[in-house]
């Protein structure tokens, strides 16, 4: 810093020496008009070269931007101001060259130095420039890129800019013609001239209104089109992203990017460009007129700009940070409200309303604090701005009085000047404001473009779409780990070298404890994620090579909690289908035993399902999801706990329906009775396959699968599931058995009578109860069958539940069973 100051001092001293040398030369040589502008510009060029080399020598070849700016100002300030004075000089006072004034040399040098200091300390905020270096550096590029989005609207924009320029010219001429009209009011003037002046004023005012209106309308129109295009593109890009992206970003954040950020972006370019161009054109035109009236008063008026710029720059830097914080708080609050409202049932059942209100209030309080800070900055800025304006105004009045007293300005010219002064000041303010707004939007534009440019990390889909799909799916040593978020350093491996095969026409079941990786397998099949190792093949081809639309048509995934959209039942079942086919829907609904439930609803298939299907029972929601998949007739069906809320009959009906048509079926279920029918059962644990085979194989093996079945039966949860199946009626038989040959058999009342008299010998492989009283709901404490209480049932080691009716029962089966299990029954 000290080194820089020393160099600047040397440059200044050298500049003074050059300045005084110039005047000595002029006074000696006495050229016409003291050399005029030609000499001045020539001297400026010589000075620039000399000072530039001097600064290079002083700084060992690296003068730096500060010295470069100082040298430029020192060299050009004089010829530029003299050229402006010559342009502005009135015809009756022709330009006679600069007067010899040695003190002016010193004054100009000091003014240049002061301008450089103001620039470095105020307008050029080094701290914020460093902090936002990558953004500020690319600001021009960002705006150029944003302008490219306006390409389809070039016609409207060109017309708007044309209207803008014409409107501004008319605007700038209005005060001039107003002054003329005032002059024509004098009695000595002829009426025709007065009428002519009024007509000119009217035409100019009318044109200004018309062109300004056209300009405003066209800008708004283009802006609306740009918004639509940008939002569409951004939404499209967002939907292409991989699932991890949505897991990391909050929905409030994304919604804020999509709406407020895009709105602000468009507004900045369209409106600020409009305001900036309008104000700059107007200012230039007005400057020409004002300088001709009085350059002294013009300098004072214009002086307001750099001073206000200084304040505005500081304010922009501080307020940009706060604006970003406000936006982040808004996103967080809307996220919070969304979560609470969508999870209102959980909130209510855990009596957490107060906690949620407190959380909301805390978030609102944080927002209030940031807004308060913003308010303080804003009012301080307004105060300082007003003070600066007031100071300048006082100076202006003092100067105007002096000019009037010296006859350098007439009252008429002063009135015209004043008519220009107010719009001029507001123009300058608009330029400042537009500049500040544009600068503070750079970060927002960069954010939106970051999203627009984001390439999804998932592999891009291929275009494979064979006419016939067999549906053979193979996992070859597939390993997968979920990406860790910033909060967690590592995540456990969800799948470790899993190899399995799903065959067409067969049902495969994935079972295992929670967190074993079942849903991860389904997610990989849905291509929500890509395996890090190994590959997944569909009919021998890697899954990612299939066209996504084709894949989703051929492979349907039904999950436990299907997403339903606001609308009718019919809308949700036919969601995404090009053509409605209610006959197929109704037939399929009948086959999965859902038709009667649907027709019981008030408006049948037109019944509104409510938000996320909230007006329907969970079972009905699952039926809709199953139907939604079935009506598309996919070759591969994946049921991820998809029938867990359906009753036993409906579960069997769904399984029968999906297995028809040679489909490849994958079932993920915790209810092991659902998977027993599977042709192949795969038992996963900690992301690895530990057992596989048929139900019989696994039961015989007495391994993990067998233990899980045992555990499930003993757990109280199993008993509640029994209760969920509804009341048991007189004449029903409940059988608990581990003997597989016992399944799906029914027994007559005679059998029961025998059974109660002759219970099986120890160790018993079976327990049965006969419900012979009017409808009862089984509960833990009910004792309802031939001396067998529910408590003893819970202690039974037999993991099977069957319900059947007595009418279908042939007696000999009972005899056969009793012969098998109870030797005392021989001969019955
Ligand atoms: N989105 C995710 N981000 C990080 N880890 C995840 C994510 N989803 C699942 N996991 C982890 O991956 C592992 C396997 O989970 P997965 O959901 O596949 O198990 P699951 O067998 O389907 O469990 P459940 O039967 O309870 O549905 C678990 O350790 C789980 O915590």
Question: 3-state SS string over 442-498?
Answer: HHHHHHHHHHHHCCCCCCCCCCECCCCCCCCEEEEEEEEECCCCCCCCCCCEEEEEE
- Domains of the chain (ranges plus CATH)? 2-131 (no CATH), 139-453 (1.20.1560.10), 473-712 (3.40.50.300), 717-826 (no CATH)
- The mean pLDDT of 235-255, rounded to a whole number, is 77
Choose the most confident range, by mean pLDDT, from 345-354, 540-549, 577-586, 725-734. 540-549
216 close to ligand 1 (CB < 6 Angstrom)? no
Could you tell me which residue, 70 or 107, shows the higher pLDDT? 70
pLDDT interval class at 682 (50, 70, 90): very high
Q: CA–CA separation, 360 vs 340, rounded Å?
A: 10
Higher pLDDT, 238 or 89: 238
CA of 671 to the centre of ligand 1 (A): 18
pLDDT of the residue at 172:
77
Residue 734: what pLDDT?
Answer: 41
Task: Look up residue 323 and give its two tokens.
Answer: 């604006």
513 close to ligand 1 (CB < 6 Angstrom): no
Q: Is 490 in the pocket of ligand 1 (CB under 6 A)?
A: no
Q: Is the CB of 518 under 6 A from ligand 1?
A: yes
- At 675 the pLDDT is 79
SS (H, E, C) 82-98: HHHHHHHCCCCCCCCCC
Cβ proximity of 112 and 79 under 8 Å: no
Beta bridge partners of 546: 464
732 lines ligand 1 (CB under 6 A): no
The atom number, within ligand 1, closest to the CA of 687 reads 14
Distance CA(237)–CA(230), nearest Å, equals 10
Atom of ligand 1 nearest to the CA of 523: 18
Q: Is the pLDDT of residue 154 over 50?
A: yes
The answer to whether the CB of 706 is under 6 A from ligand 1 is: no
Atom 4 (ligand 1): residue with closest C-alpha? 482
**For residues 231 and 246, which has the higher predicted lDDT (pLDDT)?**
231
When pLDDT is cut at 50, 70 and 90, the band that residue 59 belongs to is: confident
**647, two tokens:** 């009753």
Residue 615 has pLDDT above 50, yes or no: yes
Q: What is the model's pLDDT at position 779?
A: 29
Output the CA–CA distances (angstroms, integers) from residue 607 to 580, 584, 597, 674, in the order listed: 17, 18, 12, 30
Tens-digit pLDDT profile for residues 317-346: 778 788 878 888 888 888 888 888 877 877
* Range from 356-360, 753-757, 765-769, 822-826 that averages highest in pLDDT: 356-360
Give the mutation target among 483, 487, 520, 521 for probing the ligand 1 site: most ligand atoms within 8 A of CB: 520
Q: What is the ipTM of this complex?
A: 0.96
Please tell me the distance between residue 624's alpha carbon and the centre of ligand 1 in angstroms: 25
CA 358 to chain centroid: 26
**Contacts by 813-819, CB closer than 8 A, 24 or more apart:** 813/745, 813/746, 813/747, 814/747, 814/748, 814/750, 814/751, 814/754, 814/755, 817/742, 817/745, 817/747, 817/751, 818/751, 818/754, 818/755, 818/758
Question: Exposed/middle/buried for 239, CB within 10 Å: 0-12, 13-18, 19+?
Answer: exposed
The predicted structure's pLDDT at residue 113: 81
Tell me 809's DSSP state: -
Distance from Cα 514 to the centre of ligand 1, integer Å: 8
Asked if pLDDT for residue 780 goes beyond 60, the answer is no
Across the range 307-316, mean pLDDT stands at 75
- Say yes or no: CB of residue 482 within 6 Å of ligand 1: yes
Q: Whose CA is nearest to atom 20 of ligand 1?
A: 515
For ligand 1, the distance from its centroid to the CA atom of residue 518, given in whole angstroms, is: 8
The rounded percent of the chain whose pLDDT value lies above 70 is 78
Q: Does residue 504 have its Cβ closer than 6 Å to ligand 1?
A: no
* Residue 751: pLDDT over 50: no
Kindly state the tokens that stand for 778: 């089984």
Higher pLDDT, 802 or 152: 152
Output the pLDDT for position 364: 93
Specify the pairing of strand 533-538 against strand 473-481: antiparallel
Quick: pLDDT tens for 11-33: 887 888 888 888 878 877 777 77
- Closest Cα to atom 16 of ligand 1: 517
Q: Is the CB of 240 within 6 Å of ligand 1?
A: no
Q: What is the best residue among 249, 480, 516 to mutate for testing ligand 1's pocket, by most ligand atoms within 8 Å of CB? A: 516
Question: CB of 79 closer than 6 A to ligand 1?
Answer: no
Ligand 1 pocket, mutate which of 245, 486, 515 (most atoms under 8 A from CB): 515
Angstrom distances, CA of residue 334 to CA of 250, 253, 814: 10, 9, 65
Confidence (pLDDT) at 544: 87
**Looking at residues 766-784, what average pLDDT do you find?**
32
Q: How far is the CA of 211 from the centre of ligand 1 (A)?
A: 63
Tell me which of 269-283, 344-358, 374-388 is least confident: 269-283
472: confidence class by pLDDT, cuts 50, 70, 90:
very high
Whether residue 542 has its Cβ less than 6 Å from ligand 1: no
Ligand 1 binding pocket includes 491 (Cβ within 6 Å): yes
Token look-up 């890090």 returns 532
Candidate from 482, 560, 669 with most ligand 1 atoms within 8 A of CB, to mutate: 482
Indicate whether 765 pLDDT > 60: no
Q: How many CA atoms lie within 13 A of 236 on its CB side?
A: 7
pLDDT at 590 over 50: yes
Selected residue with higher pLDDT from 277 and 694 = 694
| 511 Cα to the center of ligand 1, angstroms | 14
Instruction: For 427-444, write each residue's pLDDT tens digit.
Output: 777 777 777 777 777 777
> Over 60: is that where the pLDDT of 777 sits?
no
- CB distance 494 to ligand 1 below 6 Å: yes
Q: Say if pTM beats, i.e. exceeds, 0.95.
A: no
**Distance between Cα 665 and ligand 1 center (Å):** 21
pLDDT of residue 536: 92
Residue with CA at minimum distance from ligand 1 atom 1: 482
- Residue 643 contacts residue 650 (beta carbons within 8 Å): yes
Mutation pick for ligand 1 pocket among 495, 519, 683 (CB with most ligand atoms within 8 Å): 519
Q: Count CB-CB contacts under 10 A for residue 383.
A: 11
In Å, what is the CA distance from 380 to each residue of 128, 319, 387?
A: 20, 12, 11
Q: Residue 334 and residue 638: Cα distance in Å, rounded?
A: 35
Contact (Cβ atoms closer than 8 angstroms) between residue 817 and residue 754:
no
Alpha helix ranges (H) inside 185-242: 191-240
What is the C-alpha to C-alpha distance for residues 603 and 588, in angstroms, rounded to an integer? 19
- The whole-number pLDDT of residue 689 equals 92
Helix (H) or strand (E) holding 734, with range, is strand 732-737
The residue to mutate among 494, 532, 638, having the most atoms of ligand 1 within 8 angstroms of its beta carbon, is 494
- Share of the chain residues as helix, strand and coil, in percent rounded to the nearest 5: 65, 10, 25
Ligand 1 pocket, 481 CB below 6 A?
Answer: no
> Is the minimum distance from the CB of 515 to ligand 1 under 6 angstroms?
yes
Can you give the pLDDT at residue 361? 93
| Phi/psi at 477 (5° precision) | 45, 50
- The whole-number pLDDT of residue 597 equals 80
Pocket residue to mutate for ligand 1, from 488, 490, 518, 669, most atoms within 8 A of Cβ: 518
Greater confidence, 446 or 666? 666
pLDDT classification of 530: cutoffs 50, 70, 90? confident
Q: Span 397-415, mean pLDDT?
A: 82
Residues 620 and 623: their CA atoms lie apart, in Å, by: 5
Tell me, using a 6 A CB cutoff, whether residue 162 lines ligand 1.
no
- Residue identifier of the C-alpha nearest atom 28 of ligand 1: 515
Atom number in ligand 1 closest to CA 484: 4
- Closest atom of ligand 1 relative to the 522 alpha carbon: 18
* Cα–Cα distance for residue pair 797/738, rounded to 1 Å: 8
**How many angstroms separate the alpha carbon of residue 688 from the centre of ligand 1?**
13
Measured in Å, residue 256 CA sits from the centre of ligand 1 at 29
In SS3 terms, 493-535 reads as EEEEEEEEEECCCCEEEEECCCCCCHHHHHHHHCCCCCCCEEE
Q: Is 517 in the pocket of ligand 1 (CB under 6 A)?
A: yes
CB neighbourhood size of 287 (10 A):
19
Question: How sure is the predictor about 666, in pLDDT bands with cuts at 50, 70 and 90?
Answer: very high
Please state the φ and ψ torsions of residue 238, each to the nearest 5 degrees.
Answer: -60, -40
Euclidean distance between CA atoms 285 and 283, whole angstroms: 5
User: Is 516 touching ligand 1 by the criterion CB < 6 Å?
Assistant: yes
Question: Which residue is closest in CA terms to ligand 1's atom 22?
Answer: 519
pLDDT at 652 over 60: yes
- Would you state the pLDDT for residue 712? 54
CA of 495 to the centre of ligand 1 (A): 10
pLDDT at 73: 86
The verdict on the CB of residue 534 being under 6 Å from ligand 1 is no
Q: Give the mean model confidence (pLDDT) for residues 140-148.
A: 77
* Cα→Cα distances 31→28, 462, 814, Å: 9, 81, 135
Distance separating alpha carbons of residues 450 and 441, to the nearest angstrom: 14
Q: Mean pLDDT across the stretch 757-782?
A: 35
Region 130-150: what's the mean pLDDT? 64
Q: Give the model's pLDDT for residue 90.
A: 58
More confident residue, 513 or 3: 513
Half-sphere exposure at residue 580, Cβ-oriented, CA atoms within 13 angstroms? 6
pLDDT at 821 over 50: no
Coil, helix or strand at residue 800? coil
Query: What separation in Å is there between the alpha carbon of 515 and the centre of ligand 1?
Result: 5
Q: Which pLDDT band, with edges at 50, 70 and 90, does 787 fall under? A: very low
User: Stretch 741-750: mean pLDDT, rounded?
Assistant: 40
CA–CA gap between residue 535 and residue 529 (Å, rounded)? 12
Relative to the CA of 512, which ligand 1 atom is closest? Answer: 21
Q: CB within 8 A of 401, min separation 6: which ones?
A: none
Confidence of residue 57 (pLDDT cuts 50, 70, 90): confident
Distance CA 382, CA 571 (A): 56
Atom of ligand 1 at shortest range from CA of 492:
29
- Least confident segment among 358-362, 630-634, 738-742: 738-742
User: What DSSP designation does 761 have?
Assistant: P
Q: By mean pLDDT, which of 513-522, 573-582, 684-693 is the weakest?
A: 573-582
790 Cβ inside 6 Å of ligand 1:
no
**Per-chain mean pLDDT for the chain:** 74
């Amino acid at each position: 810093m000290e080194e820089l100051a020393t160099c600047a001092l040397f440059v200044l001293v050298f500049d003074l020496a050059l300045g005084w040398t110039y005047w000595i030369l002029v006074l000696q040589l006495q050229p016409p008009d003291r050399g005029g502008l030609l000499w001045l510009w020539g001297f400026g060029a010589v000075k620039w070269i000399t000072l530039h080399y001097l600064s290079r020598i002083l700084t060992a070849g690296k003068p730096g931007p500060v010295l470069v700016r100082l040298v430029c100002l020192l060299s050009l300030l004089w010829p530029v101001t003299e050229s402006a004075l010559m342009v502005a000089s009135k015809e009756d006072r022709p330009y006679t060259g600069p007067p010899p004034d040695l003190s002016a040399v010193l004054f100009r040098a000091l003014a240049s130095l002061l301008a450089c200091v103001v620039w470095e300390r105020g307008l050029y905020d080094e701290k914020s420039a460093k902090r936002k270096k990558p953004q500020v550096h690319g600001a021009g590029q960002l705006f150029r890129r944003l302008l490219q989005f306006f390409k389809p609207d070039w016609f409207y924009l060109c017309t708007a800019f044309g209207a803008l320029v014409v409107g501004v010219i008319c605007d700038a001429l209005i005060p001039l013609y107003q002054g003329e009209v005032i002059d024509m009011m004098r009695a000595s003037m002829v009426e025709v001239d007065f009428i002519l002046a009024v007509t000119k004023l009217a035409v100019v005012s009318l044109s200004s209104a018309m062109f300004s209106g056209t300009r405003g309308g066209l800008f708004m129109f283009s802006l609306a089109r740009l918004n639509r295009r940008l939002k569409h593109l951004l939404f499209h890009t967002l939907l292409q992203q991989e699932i991890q992206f949505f897991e990391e970003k909050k929905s409030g954040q994304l919604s804020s990017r999509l709406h407020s950020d895009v709105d602000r972006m468009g507004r900045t370019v369209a409106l600020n460009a409009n305001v900036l161009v309008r104000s700059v054109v107007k200012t230039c035109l007005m400057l020409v007129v004002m300088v001709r009236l009085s350059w002294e008063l013009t300098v004072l008026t214009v002086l307001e700009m750099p001073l206000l710029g200084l304040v505005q720059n500081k304010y922009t830097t501080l307020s940009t940070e706060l604006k970003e914080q406000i936006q982040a708080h808004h996103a967080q609050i809307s996220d919070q409200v969304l979560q609470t409202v969508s999870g209102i049932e959980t909130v209510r059942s855990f009596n957490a309303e107060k906690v949620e209100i407190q959380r909301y209030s805390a978030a609102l309080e944080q927002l209030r604090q940031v807004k308060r800070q913003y308010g303080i900055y804003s009012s301080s800025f307004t105060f300082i701005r007003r003070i600066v304006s007031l100071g300048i105004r006082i100076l202006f009045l003092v100067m105007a009085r002096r000019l009037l007293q010296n006859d350098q300005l007439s009252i008429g010219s002063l009135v015209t000047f004043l008519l220009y002064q107010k719009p001029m000041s507001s123009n300058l303010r608009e330029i400042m404001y537009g500049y500040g707004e544009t600068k503070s939007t750079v970060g927002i534009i960069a954010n939106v473009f970051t999203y627009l440019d984001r390439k999804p990390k998932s592999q891009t889909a291929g275009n494979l779409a064979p006419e016939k799909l067999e549906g053979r799916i193979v996992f070859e040593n597939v390993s997968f780990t979920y990406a860790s978020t910033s909060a967690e350093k590592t995540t456990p491996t969800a799948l470790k070298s899993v190899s399995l095969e799903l065959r067409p026409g067969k049902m495969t079941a994935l079972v295992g404890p929670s967190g074993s990786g079942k849903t991860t397998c389904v997610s990989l099949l849905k291509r929500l994620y890509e395996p890090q190792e190994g590959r997944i093949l569909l009919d021998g081809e890697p899954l990612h090579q299939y066209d996504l639309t084709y894949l989703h048509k051929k492979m349907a995934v039904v999950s436990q909690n299907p997403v339903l959209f606001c609308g009718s039942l019919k809308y949700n079942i036919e969601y995404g289908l090009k053509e409605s086919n209610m006959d197929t829907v109704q037939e399929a609904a009948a086959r999965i035993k859902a038709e009667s439930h649907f027709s019981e609803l008030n408006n049948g298939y037109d019944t509104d399902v409510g938000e996320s299907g909230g007006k329907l029972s969970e079972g009905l929601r699952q039926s809709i999801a199953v139907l939604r998949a079935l009506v598309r007739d996919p070759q591969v069906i994946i049921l991820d706990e998809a029938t867990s809320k359906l009753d036993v009959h409906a579960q069997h009906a769904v399984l029968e329906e999906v297995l028809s048509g040679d489909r490849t079926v994958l079932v993920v279920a915790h209810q092991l009775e659902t998977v027993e029918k599977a042709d192949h059962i795969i038992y996963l644990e900690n992301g690895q396959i530990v057992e596989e085979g048929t139900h019989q194989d696994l039961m015989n093996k007495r391994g993990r699968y067998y233990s899980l079945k045992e555990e499930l039966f003993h757990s109280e949860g199993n008993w509640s599931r029994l209760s969920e199946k509804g009341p048991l009626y007189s004449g029903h038989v409940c059988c608990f058995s581990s003997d597989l040959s016992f399944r799906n058999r029914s027994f007559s009342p005679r059998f029961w009578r025998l059974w109660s008299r002759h219970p099986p010998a120890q160790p018993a492989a079976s327990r049965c109860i006969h419900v012979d009283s009017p409808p009862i709901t089984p509960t833990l404490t009910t004792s309802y069958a031939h001396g067998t209480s529910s408590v003893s049932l819970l202690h039974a080691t037999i993991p099977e539940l069957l319900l059947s009716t007595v009418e279908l029962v042939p007696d000999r089966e009972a005899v056969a069973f009793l012969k098998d299990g109870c030797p005392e029954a021989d001969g019955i």
